Structures are given as structure tokens and as C-alpha cells.
């Protein structure tokens, strides 16, 4: 395999001290890109292993969704011997990523700044709800908490209805993505300086960043925007409609050409020169009148027919699909959007990492590890700990190990 065919992060060692979703989603992405991820778990395991819901071979699907391409070692980090093992693992790593509440790592004896001072090339990334400093730093945070505090929930749902949580864990996933961006930036900087650094990623800051233009609109207007429903605050022809069969479709006619194409397909070409709708500002000002006209036209045909006709006219359009339909489309496309993860006894299908690198070989998905599945191998192969000492560590409850499931 030539160097340009290797996965881009091949040779990178990650110590993963994360649990639940924000951190595991970040380290799964790093593993998908070729990094060697050692998942360090407490003896009770990642909390997500206990999430109620669908299971595969008795393991929570929630855990399985975010932990492929990793190795698991189970250590009691409150034990001096366990902490010594972790410090040895860190000494051979490029990156440490954790999502403890601020202050926990210091109490454990692995203060990030002290560790990076001892290992100057190390990159340390901390994900927390509210950052390492500030008035909220000590509060526990989960996805919906930061969606609520950031204003995201106030924008979600339909006018007149209660605030709604986004149906995806955006608070967690976005924080994980920002952590990966920060890690990759720090590793790039290390090429020039030889030094790593400590990265602080806040879930709340990540959600505030997602506000995008809504943040600036609010600063400029001095008024909080309301629930967006399926429409846009600035573009009248960027919204959902309902076809005659009751199915919804979305139209995003953002340009004059698209607006003209929409009117032609709907058989209301006269609207193009109607002074109420002659330009984008007029359409927005008279949006309620415009919507009533468009909705009446859309009700005359099934949604699928409108999708076909508008697509032929190069007007951006799509049916509103449920998750089962969307995943079915991805499966039928067979374009690498999905991945099947297998071991000797089980398999499941999941969404793949969407990043592609031309001719670079991808990473064959490795089944998420059972708790402590790789404990013994890591201690022997990475740290050279003899079998007699491993037996002692197991007997004293400093580490835990489980039978290997071959991937």
C-alpha cells in the first residue's frame, strides 16, 4: 500500500476517555479515518451501554452506533495502579480526548495542562457542556439542555406549538465535530512547532455557532425569531407544501430563475409580473397571500408528480421522507453512505462517515468492542506488562477483561 492509499490518520494513537455521545461520536470519526483509538472505560463501562432501546446480541444500539473502529480497555481510574496504566498509555499517544465534567480530570490526577507539560507533543481535547470556565461550568449537560439554552429549541417546531427538540442529537454531534476539527488543527500546528496543546470544546458554544444567520438577525433586529416550522425568515419560496395526496414536499426557489420556473410549472406564470411578488422583498412582504395561491396549486396533484415536474425544471425540490425511507434510499443507491459492521456472531447496518479521499483506501469497519475486550492485548502489546502482573491486576479489580469477539 502506498502512502497516499493509507487512511489519512493511520499511525495516529488516540486515548478515548469519553462516554455517552459527544466524545464517542468524535472518536468514532477519528477511527473511521484510520486512527488507532483506545477506548478507556470504567469497570462499569461507557454509560451508553445501558441505554434502553433496540439491542444487538444484548448490546445497546445506542452504544453500537458510536463506537466502531475502537479497542476497549477497562480500568479503575480511581486506583493508583489503574491511573499508572492510563499514564503509560497517554505517554505513547498523540491525542487524549475526554468529556468529563470540568475539574474531574484534575481530581483524578490527570490535569490536562500538567499532562501536556509532561508530554509537550500531546494534544488534549476536552468536551463539556459549558466549557472549562464560566458560571455554568459545573452543571451537568446533555443534548436537550444545550439545545434549550442556545435558543435552538425555540426555533424548532411550528408557530403556536411548544418548543421542540431537534430530532437528532445536534448538541452532542456538533460538539464532537468541533472537537475533531480542533484536534486536526492542533496536529497540523504540531508539524511546525513540535508541540501539542489543550483544546476546550463546549456543547453550548457549538449550538450557538449553529444559529448562523439567525444570531446576526437577532443582534440587528433586537427581536427573538420564533419557531421556523418548515419555512424561512428571508425567502418566501423556501418552505414545505402539501400535495393533493397529503404528502409533503419542500421547495427552495431562491433565485429569480427558480421563482420563474416554479410559477411556470404550477401554471401561475402571471405571478412573475404581479407587483405583489415581482421581487424577493415583495414576495416576503406578501408571503401569506403568495402561500395561499401556491398551496392551492400544490393541492391539485400528488406530491410525487410535483417533485418530478419541478426537478425537470431545475427547481430545487424534494419529498419529505421519514428516516426509514431515507435509509432505504441510501441502501438502494449503494454509494457508500451505509456500512455493515460485523463480527463472528452479529452484524448491523449503520450510517458511514461521509468523508471520501479519492483513491485512498477506506477503513474496514471494526465491530464496537465489548467492555474490556482488548484489555489484555493492550497491556501486553502496548505496555509490555507480563502475564503475572495482569493476573494480579485482574484479581485486585484494577482492570477488567472480556472474551474477544473477532471482527
Q: Contact, 210 vs 156, CB < 8 A?
A: no
Q: Is 11 exposed, middle or buried (0-12, 13-18, 19+ CB in 10 A)?
A: exposed
Which listed residue (16, 36, 46, 172) is catalytic?
172
Number of neighbouring beta carbons within 10 Å of residue 189: 14
d(CA 327, CA 39): 29
Q: What DSSP string describes 60-112?
A: EHHHHTT--S-EEEEE-TTSHHHHHHHHHHHHT-SEEEE-PPTTHHHHHT--H
Distance between CA atoms of residues 110 and 121, nearest Å: 16
13-17 and 95-98 strand pairing? parallel
User: Residue 90 burial by CB count (10 A; 0-12/13-18/19+): exposed, middle or buried?
Assistant: buried
* Residue 381: exposure state from Cβ atoms within 10 A (0-12, 13-18, ≥19): exposed
End-to-end CA distance of the chain: 22
Helix (H, G, I), strand (E, B) or coil at 160: coil
| Annotation says 377 is catalytic | no
User: Which backbone phi and psi does 318 adopt, to 5 degrees?
Assistant: -160, 145
The residues, any chain, with a CB within 8 Å of residue 226's CB and separated by 6 or more, are 154, 155, 159
What secondary structure does DSSP assign to 18-35, as a single string? --TTHHHHHHHHHHHTT-
Active site (catalytic) residues: 172
Amino acid at each position: 500500500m502506498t502512502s497516499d492509499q493509507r487512511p489519512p490518520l493511520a499511525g495516529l494513537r488516540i486515548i478515548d476517555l469519553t462516554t455517552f455521545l459527544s466524545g464517542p461520536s468524535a472518536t468514532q470519526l477519528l477511527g473511521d479515518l484510520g486512527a488507532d483509538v483506545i477506548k478507556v472505560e470504567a469497570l462499569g463501562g461507557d454509560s451508553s451501554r445501558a441505554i434502553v432501546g433496540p439491542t444487538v446480541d444484548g448490546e445497546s444500539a445506542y452504544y453500537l452506533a458510536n463506537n466502531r473502529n475502537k479497542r476497549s480497555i477497562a480500568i479503575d481510574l480511581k486506583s493508583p495502579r489503574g491511573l499508572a496504566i492510563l499514564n503509560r498509555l497517554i505517554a505513547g499517544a498523540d491525542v487524549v480526548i475526554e468529556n468529563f465534567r470540568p475539574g474531574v480530570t484534575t481530581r483524578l490526577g490527570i490535569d490536562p495542562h500538567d499532562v501536556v507539560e509532561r508530554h509537550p507533543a500531546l494534544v488534549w481535547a476536552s468536551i463539556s457542556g459549558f466549557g472549562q470556565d464560566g458560571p455554568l461550568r459545573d452543571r451537568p449537560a446533555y443534548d436537550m439542555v444545550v439545545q434549550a439554552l442556545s435558543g435552538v429549541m425555540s426555533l424548532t417546531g411550528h408557530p403556536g406549538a411548544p418548543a421542540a427538540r431537534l430530532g437528532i442529537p445536534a448538541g452532542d454531534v456538533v460538539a464532537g465535530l468541533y472537537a475533531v476539527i480542533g484536534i486536526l488543527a492542533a496536529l497540523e500546528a504540531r508539524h511546525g512547532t513540535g508541540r501539542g496543546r489543550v483544546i476546550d470544546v463546549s456543547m453550548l458554544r457549538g449550538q450557538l455557532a449553529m444559529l448562523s444567520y439567525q444570531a446576526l438577525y437577532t443582534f440587528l433586529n433586537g427581536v427573538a425569531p420564533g419557531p421556523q416550522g418548515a419555512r424561512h425568515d428571508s425567502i418566501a419560496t423556501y418552505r414545505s407544501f402539501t400535495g393533493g395526496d397529503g404528502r409533503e414536499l419542500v421547495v427552495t426557489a431562491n433565485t429569480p430563475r427558480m421563482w420563474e420556473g416554479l410559477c411556470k410549472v404550477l401554471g401561475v406564470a402571471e405571478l412573475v409580473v404581479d407587483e405583489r411578488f415581482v421581487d424577493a422583498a415583495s414576495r416576503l412582504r406578501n408571503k401569506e397571500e403568495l402561500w395561499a395561491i401556491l398551496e392551492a396549486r400544490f393541492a391539485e396533484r400528488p406530491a410525487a408528480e410535483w417533485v418530478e415536474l419541478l426537478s425537470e425544471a431545475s427547481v430545487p425540490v424534494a419529498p419529505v421522507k421519514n428516516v426509514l425511507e431515507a435509509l432505504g434510499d441510501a441502501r438502494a443507491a449503494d454509494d457508500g453512505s451505509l456500512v455493515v459492521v460485523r463480527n463472528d456472531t452479529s452484524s448491523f447496518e449503520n450510517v458511514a462517515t461521509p468523508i471520501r479521499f479519492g483513491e485512498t483506501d477506506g477503513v474496514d469497519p471494526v465491530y464496537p468492542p465489548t467492555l474490556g475486550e482488548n484489555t489484555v492485548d493492550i497491556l501486553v502489546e502496548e505496555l509490555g506488562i507480563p502475564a503475572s502482573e495482569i493476573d494480579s491486576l485482574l484479581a485486585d479489580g484494577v482492570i477488567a477483561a472480556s472474551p474477544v469477539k473477532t471482527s
